[in-house]
Structure 1
Amino acid sequence: MAQLQDKLYKYAPHFLQNSLVSIYNILAYRGRNSGKYHEFLKHYKANKNLSLQELKAIQSKKYTAFIKYAITNSKYYSNTLSKLDSPENIENIRLLPIVNKELIRQNISDIYTIKKSEGSVAKTGGTTGKSLEVVYLLDDSRERHAILDYFRHNFGYRLGKKTAWFSGKNLLTPKDIRKNRFWKTDYIYNVRYYSTFHIHSKYLKYYIENLITFKPEYFVGFPSTMYEIAKYGMHYNIVFPAGIIKAIFPTAETITTEIRTVLETYFKTKVYNQYASSEGSPFIIECEQGNLHLELQSGVFEVLDNQDNPCTNGRLVVTPFNTKGTPLIRYDIGDQIELDEPTAVCPCGNNNPLVKHILGRISDYIYSEEKGKINLGNISNCLKGVKGVIRFQIQQHHINALLVLLEKDDKTFTNKDQDVFLKNLKDRVGNRIKITLKFTDNIPVEKSGKYRLIKNTIKDEIVEQ
C-alpha cells in the first residue's frame, strides 16, 4: 500500500501533490490532537507559573508512576529494576543502571511494553547509522505534541498560521528541480515544506524569492538549512523584509551563537530554541526572555561527569515520562548541557531550573591529541575573518588526520581567505594533526535532510589521557 501511495505521489501533478500533503496532514493532526491532547495542553499552560517545589512534587509523583509501569510491563526493566531497593523513589535514582542507545537496541524487544501496531513508531537516526525504533503509547505521543504546542503558543503560533517548514521530508520530483520549485504546500494548514536536500548556491535565490512571496509568520525546522539561506541572502545583498516572521523555532540540531546571530539578523526576528529528541527526551524550552528551562514535568534530567557524578557541565542522562511504550530510564542520550546556578531565577515566571547552554551531541567534536576535544561551537568559529565560504564540513576518520570539504564562491574566496581559514582551524586543533582541504561543489546532507558540520567516526577509539 505504501509503495502504491509513493508511486501515486511521484507521478501526480504539482497541485495534486499539494493536496496529498494536505490529506496526510489532516489524518496526522486528527490523530495527534485527539485523546488526551487538549487535556495535556491545558495542563502545561495552567502549570506555567508553579513554584519549583510544586514542579518537583509533580516530577516525583510522575517518576514513581513511570518506574512502576516499566517494572510491571517491560520484561527488561522487570529483570533489571525489580530487585533494587525502592527504585520507584526518585531519591534512589542513582542506584538504577545507566543505559545507552546500543544497549536499548540490543534489548529492544524485551523493553517494549506494547506491540508496534498498538502505538505510534518513531525512528531515530544517529551518527553511527544505526537507527532505533521507539514505540509510543498514543497518548504519550499526544503529550509530546502538546508540550511542543504549549512552547510555540507562547510566541503566538497556532495550527493554521502561515509557516515555512524545513525538515527531512523528501517531497520533490525531478520536474520540481527543473522548474526551480523546492517546496510543496499544505493549503489547508498554511504550511509550506521547503526541501532540505537541495541547499546549493545555484538554488538558494529561489528559496529566498519564494519565502518573500509566501510571507510566512513562522519558521520551523533544521537551523542549518535556514542558516545557509540567510548567509546566501546576506552575501548577495538580498534584503529580507522586516516584520514578516514573528519567530523561528529550530529543531533537531544544535544552535550555535553564529547560527542564532545570522538567522536573527537576516530574517529580522528572534530564534526560540527547544530541546527534545525522536527517542523521547524530556523537554528543554526557551522562554520569552531568551532563557532555557528544564521542563521537570516531562522527565528527570541528570548532568553527569565521566565518573557518573552530578556536575553542572556534562553529559545528559534522561528519564522521560512519556516513553511508556519504550521506557527509557537513565538513558545516556549522547548530548551535553551546562546548567545555570541553582539559585538563578527567570523574570518570565517559569520556575523550572535554568540551562546556560545546550552543547549538543557529544559526538559533534574534533579530537586532537594536542588540544583534546574541540566542540561544534569552536569549529563553527573558524569562519571569522573569512569571506567566500558557502559552507564547510570537517570529517575525522583517523586520529591524526582531518578532511575538510569546502564549498566556495569563486568570485570572493581568495588565497588569503584560505590561509585565514586554515590558521583559524589550526589554532583550534593544533599543528600536529594533518589537514586535507578538498574543494567541492556540493556537500551532501544526511538521509534525514540534516546538514552536519562535523562527522567524527572514530569517537569510540578515542582514549583521553
Structure 2
Amino acid sequence: MLDKIYDCSPHFIQNLFVSGYNILAYKKRYGGKYKAFRDLYKLNRSLSREDLLRSQKSRYKNFIEQAIANSEFYRKLYSDIENPQDLDNIQRLPIIDKELFRTNINDITIKSRKKLVSSKTGGTTGKSLEVHYKEVNLQERFALLDDFRSRFGYKLGKKTAWFSGKKILTIKDVNEKKFWKYDYFNKTKYYSTFHLKNNFLQYYVENLIKFKPKYLVGFPSTIAEIARYGLDNNYLFPDNTVKAVFPTAENLTKQMRELIEKFFHTAVYNQYASSEGAPFIFECKNGNLHLELQSGVFEVLDECNNPSTTGRLVVTSFTTEGTPLIRYDIGDSITLKNQNLICSCGNNNPIVKSINGRVADYVYSPENGKINIVNIANAIKDVKGIISYQIIQNEINCLNFNIIIDKSIYNNEEEKLFKKNWRDRVGDNMEFNINYVNSINVESSGKHRVVLNNIKDLIEKTV
C-alpha cells in the first residue's frame, strides 16, 4: 500500500517518505549503545598491537561461548572440540562455506527473547541470505563505520551524495530526468544506481555539481562511471568541495580510484566488510588498509588451509551474535603486508597490501546502462525458493537466466517478482530467457560466477 502511495506522490512528498524512513531506521542504528561504542573506538584508536591482540582474544572467547550457548548449529558442531573458545585453537574449528551457512541458517541463528533485526544480503554468488543482528551489534557496526569516516571529517547531517541499490525512482522521475531523492533532515541525496547510461549521466553530473556534496558514499563502480562521463565531456567539478569518497559493497579497482579522485578532486578511502556482517578493514590517511582486530578475526589461508600472506579470507565476526559468523569463508582473497610493520598514522592494526576480491561484474541494458553486481545481487533478495542462479549476456538486448529452484517454495508469484525486480533494473525492452536447471557450471577455481557477460567489448563501443 505504501509503495503505491509513494509511486503516485509528487517528488517532494517522496522525499518526505525517504526522510521519514531514515528517521525510523536511524533510531535502531544510532540508539542504545551507539554513542558508547563511538566513545570507545575513539578512545581505542591508538591502542598498541599487544593491547589490540589482547582485546581480540578476550572478545573471541566471549563470542564463541555465546554462540555455543545460543546457537544449536555451533553447539553440535563444537561438541567434540576441546577449548573451542581459545583463540589459539581456532584452526581446530571447521571452516564454514557459504553453501553450508545458507542451508543451516535457521540452526545457526540464535534463539532469542529479544527481537532480532533482519538483514537480507544480496546474491553476489547467485544466492541470497537473510541474517539477523542483535540491535547492539548493529549499533556497534555503525559506530565502527562512523568512527572510520569521522577521521576524514564526516558525520551524519553533512551534505552527502549516496549511491546504493535501493529502488527509489518512478517512471515519472525517469521521464523528468530526476535520478535522485533527498533526505531533508540529514542533507543526504540518494542517487539511483539503476540508470547509468550515457544520455542519463549528464543529469547525474550536473545535479552533483549543483548539489556540491561534502562526501560521496556508495558503489564505486557507479561513482566511477559518473566520473568517467564527467571527464570525457569536459565537466569541471568545483575544487575543494568533496572532502572524501567512501566506497561500499564492491571491490575498488585502481582504475575506479583514479577516475573518482581525478574528477572529484579528492581522496578515496576504502573499507571492506560484507552484508553477512564480516569484520572490517579500513583505509587510513596514509593509504594503508588495516585489519580492525577489535571487530573480529581474519585468517588468510592457502589451498591447504594453512596460514599464508596471500590467500582466501576466512573471518570470525564479533558483531554477528544473532547469526554468528565463525571461520566463515567469505569468497574473497587478500594479501597481507609484513605483519611486523606499524603504520605512522597511529593505527596499530595489521596492514593489508591489497584486497583481491571479485572485481564487480555487470550486465548492460540499452535502456538503463550498466547494472553492477550489487544491484544484480539485490534482485533476488525478496524472492523465495531460488537456490542459485546465473545471468548470461550474449546479446545487447537479451539476458539468459539459469535458475535452480526449490519446487516446494518457488511458484508463479515468485517468478513474477523475480521478473519485476529485473525489469526495475534493466527496463521493459530487454528479452528474458529463463531456464530452470538442475545444476550450474562453476569456474575452474570451483567458484560460481553469477554473471557471465560475453559482450563487454561490444558494450564498451556502445557506451
Q: TM-score, normalised by structure 2?
A: 0.79
Corresponding residue of 1:286: 283
Do the aligned partners of residues 316 and 447 (structure 1) sit closer, same or farther apart at CA in structure 2, a change above 3 Å counting? farther
Instruction: Say if 2:193 and 2:371, in contact at 8 Å, map to a contact too.
Output: no
TM-superposed CA distance for 1:128, in Å, is 3.4
Corresponding residue of 1:97: 94
The separation in 1 between residues aligned to 2:4 and 2:113, in whole angstroms, is 25
Q: Determine which of 78, 82, 99 is the counterpart of 2:79.
A: 82
Q: Would you identify which runs of 4 or more consecutive aligned residues in structure 1 move more than 4 Å?
A: 390-394, 402-407, 445-450, 460-464
Corresponding residue of 1:224: 221
TM-superposed CA distance for 1:129, in Å, is 2.4
Do the aligned partners of residues 460 and 85 (structure 1) sit closer, same or farther apart at CA in structure 2, a change above 3 Å counting? farther
Instruction: Say if 2:196 and 2:371, in contact at 8 Å, map to a contact too.
Output: no
Corresponding residue of 1:122: 119
Corresponding residue of 1:316: 313
**1:422-461 pair list within 5 angstroms:** 458-459=441-442
SS at match of 2:191: strand
Corresponding residue of 2:241: 244
For 1:305-340, what per-residue CA distance to the aligned partner results, in whole angstroms no more than 9, with x for missing partners?
A: 111010011100000001010011100000111101
Paired letter, 1:459: V
The separation in 2 between residues aligned to 1:405 and 1:58, in whole angstroms, is 53
SS at match of 1:316: strand
The separation in 2 between residues aligned to 1:174 and 1:7, in whole angstroms, is 13
Instruction: Say if 1:392 and 1:404, in contact at 8 Å, map to a contact too.
Output: no
Q: Determine which of 234, 252, 255 is the counterpart of 2:252.
A: 255
Q: Determine which of 290, 305, 321 is the counterpart of 2:302.
A: 305
- Are 2:131 and 1:148 aligned? no
For 1:174-221, what per-residue CA distance to the aligned partner results, in whole angstroms no more than 9, with x for missing partners?
A: 111111000000011000000000001010010011001111000000
TM-superposed CA distance for 1:405, in Å, is 7.2
SS at match of 2:320: coil
SS at match of 2:46: coil
Do the aligned partners of residues 277 and 393 (structure 1) sit closer, same or farther apart at CA in structure 2, a change above 3 Å counting? closer
SS at match of 1:350: coil
Gaps of 5+ in 1: 365-375, 381-389, 395-401, 408-444, 451-456
The separation in 1 between residues aligned to 2:262 and 2:298, in whole angstroms, is 33
Instruction: Say if 1:125 and 1:448, in contact at 8 Å, map to a contact too.
Output: no
- Are 2:327 and 1:330 aligned? yes
SS at match of 2:304: coil
The separation in 1 between residues aligned to 2:444 and 2:12, in whole angstroms, is 51
Do the aligned partners of residues 446 and 102 (structure 1) sit closer, same or farther apart at CA in structure 2, a change above 3 Å counting? farther
Paired letter, 2:304: Q
TM-superposed CA distance for 1:460, in Å, is 5.0
Corresponding residue of 2:336: 339
- Are 2:119 and 1:136 aligned? no
SS at match of 2:238: coil
TM-superposed CA distance for 1:103, in Å, is 0.5
Do the aligned partners of residues 188 and 449 (structure 1) sit closer, same or farther apart at CA in structure 2, a change above 3 Å counting? farther
Instruction: Say if 1:393 and 1:406, in contact at 8 Å, map to a contact too.
Output: no
Do the aligned partners of residues 449 and 302 (structure 1) sit closer, same or farther apart at CA in structure 2, a change above 3 Å counting? farther
Paired letter, 1:205: Q
Corresponding residue of 2:106: 109
Corresponding residue of 2:261: 264
- Are 2:62 and 1:65 aligned? yes
SS at match of 1:228: helix
For 1:396-428, what per-residue CA distance to the aligned partner results, in whole angstroms no more than 9, with x for missing partners?
A: xxxxxx977789xxxxxxxxxxxxxxxxxxxxx
Corresponding residue of 1:177: 174
Paired letter, 2:442: K
Paired letter, 2:273: A
Instruction: Say if 2:173 and 2:179, in contact at 8 Å, map to a contact too.
Output: yes
Gaps of 5+ in 2: 363-368, 374-391, 398-420, 427-439, 448-463
Q: Determine which of 52, 58, 64 is the counterpart of 2:49.
A: 52
TM-superposed CA distance for 1:461, in Å, is 5.4
- Are 2:179 and 1:192 aligned? no
SS at match of 1:459: coil
The separation in 1 between residues aligned to 2:122 and 2:108, in whole angstroms, is 19
TM-superposed CA distance for 1:463, in Å, is 6.4
RMSD: 2.5
The separation in 1 between residues aligned to 2:163 and 2:329, in whole angstroms, is 28
TM-superposed CA distance for 1:96, in Å, is 0.2
Instruction: Say if 2:96 and 2:329, in contact at 8 Å, map to a contact too.
Output: yes
The separation in 2 between residues aligned to 1:287 and 1:277, in whole angstroms, is 19
SS at match of 1:260: helix
Corresponding residue of 1:354: 351
- Are 2:28 and 1:31 aligned? yes
TM-superposed CA distance for 1:162, in Å, is 0.2
TM-superposed CA distance for 1:237, in Å, is 0.9
Corresponding residue of 2:413: none
Do the aligned partners of residues 240 and 5 (structure 1) sit closer, same or farther apart at CA in structure 2, a change above 3 Å counting? same
Do the aligned partners of residues 57 and 289 (structure 1) sit closer, same or farther apart at CA in structure 2, a change above 3 Å counting? same
TM-superposed CA distance for 1:82, in Å, is 2.7
Instruction: Say if 1:304 and 1:316, in contact at 8 Å, map to a contact too.
Output: yes
Do the aligned partners of residues 354 and 128 (structure 1) sit closer, same or farther apart at CA in structure 2, a change above 3 Å counting? closer
Instruction: Count matched residues.
Output: 387
The separation in 2 between residues aligned to 1:128 and 1:286, in whole angstroms, is 26
SS at match of 1:118: coil
- Are 2:164 and 1:167 aligned? yes
